[in-house]
Structure 1
């Protein structure tokens, strides 16, 4: 089968490899589309140590063609969306049965766009940030896959005010489609907010933006951290200051959750998928690439030149 392989020279190449066979508790999926996500950037940069050559890709949509031991054979033929640990940029991928979801009723492009971003956004709003009716919410990377979905989940949870921070004017214009009351560029944060405070802030940025976000929390506010786009340099936070203001700093790592408590991730994904199927939220696929253009897709994501969700056509 055809697959994209990341080799020791950090290059993506198309190669012919053997089709994978599902082990116990797994399904094999013939892939129509694969989603592009920031994990692809981190793998290429070496932040996730994986043996090379490596078939990347962590999000797949397609049809189940085989099942491993212990998996209901009735799944064969299902249209699904799946969260994988690797291998989605290939004609066939194996995925855990628990993290493979029935996508009947969704078109294949939307099913691929669902990916990790949708359950991540759902958890950041509902499980980690615990957004409640009347809360004021600020979301960094507001035009990205997680940001656009988190805005919709926050509105569904009853957020009274929603502010987004983006990289530039074009991203701000795009993000207006997702319910934000105010959009700021990164250069305008936090100065343009005057004395405004927030109950929940979502931060995948890190560095100075993380410290500025912490300062912008209202009493009993929650800072939800889920990435380090700007820098991996550590940020020092005084827990005594947090205690006095009743503020909380929380983290969310969906990849770790898939290994430690996959049933929790599956539950969040199922709830999010239901909202998507009911058209209460939407995944916005804004770019489609061929397998041979994966390098371009990941580079654009790394440089902050994307918005919404990008996918790769496999079939």
Structure 2
């Protein structure tokens, strides 16, 4: 099989397309023919060394495909089952072995591309808005990067819970995409002051919550945009890690700061299956709309990372082995 391998950390140029033996499933695992792979910022963190991994390493933690072989004693899945996974490294490949308790079934109404585009970000958006910071009708929230794959899902799920959404985008061309997702107010952060816009939008009160996946470049603004007892949900660091923070800064409004990881919320198979079922059901019902920015071949993994890190993408990037 072919797979993307990295033998050192660094920029996208460290990726190489290599031919490797097919992996063999052990008890508790299945072998999957990979049909679509989601490209995510966590892949960039693995590649750069921000989140260290043993080398050599095959990146990618999300995908969808068809079961083609079973490990000894596996009875809960069958050859031919259509499945998706999130949080399993090694997905930038034509085949992957996945533990059976990390798999979720793909409904017949969805394609493998839809499943791979929705699972990791959909799970994250659902967990953030229902468990990390449960939103209620009337809550005002700021969501950064509202035209991206993650931002658009967050906007839609926040609106589904009755929240009002103000969001930021990095270019005026992205404003219609964020509005179409349900944002009430869209800020072009290149030409508007985000904090002033949030204060004006909330009549000076600040927002109930901020969902920030950008990190260093937006952290101070995100914290300042909060209302009293508001919560900053820092779930990513696309612009770089946030420097150390003095907890005394939170006393300005009895604020809450959290740095959640999706995988702590879906560690139990029952939780993973419940959240995935809800995400896929919303997709199948048309309540959640996906936007796939581009599909690329496995050999274009480096180009996919450059596009993602440039901030010019809208929606999701997929690799098709």
* Same structural fold, with TM-score higher than 0.5 when normalized by the shorter chain: yes
On the 8 A contact 2:166/2:185 being kept in 1, the answer is yes
Matched residue, 1:277: 284
Say if 1:287 and 1:309, in contact at 8 Å, map to a contact too. Answer: yes
Question: Which residue of structure 2 aligns with residue 212 of structure 1?
Answer: 221
Q: Name 1:193's counterpart in structure 2.
A: 198
Which stretches in structure 1 are left out of the alignment for 5+ residues?
none
5+ residue gaps, structure 2: none
Residues 198, 207 of structure 2: 8 Å contact kept: no
**Partners of 2:77 and 2:100 within 8 A in 1:** no
> Alpha-carbon deviation of 1:261?
4.5
Are residue 78 (structure 1) and residue 85 (structure 2) matched? no
Compute the RMSD of aligned alpha carbons. 2.1
Q: Which runs of structure 2 are paired with 1:1-315 in the superposition (5 Å)? A: 1-8=1-8, 10=10, 11-72=14-75, 74-104=77-107, 105-159=109-163, 161-187=164-190, 188=192, 189-195=194-200, 196=202, 197-207=206-216, 209-239=218-248, 242=250, 245-257=253-265, 261=268, 263-314=270-321
Moved more, 172-181 or 139-148: 172-181
Most deviating of 211-220 and 295-304: 211-220
SS state at 1:115 partner: helix
Q: Retained in 1: the 8 A contact 2:195–2:224?
A: no
1: distance between equivalents of 2:154 and 2:125?
5
- Residues 1:61 and 1:212: Cα distance change in structure 2 (over 3 Å): same
Superposed displacement of residue 153, structure 1: 0.6
Distance 1:143 1:254 in 2: 21
Give the TM-score, by structure 2 length. Answer: 0.89
Deviation at 1:157, TM superposition (A): 0.8
CA distance in 1 between counterparts of 2:251 and 2:196 reads: 25
Distance in 2, Cα, partners of 1:238 & 1:9: 32
Aligned CA distance change for structure 1 residues 95 and 2 (closer, same or farther; 3 Å): same
Structure 1's consecutive aligned runs of 4 or more residues displaced over 4 angstroms after TM superposition are 260-263
Aligned residues: 311
Whole-Å Cα distance in 1 between the matches of residues 306 and 146 of structure 2? Answer: 19
Residues 36, 244 of structure 1: CA spacing in aligned structure 2 closer, same or farther, 3 A cutoff?
A: closer
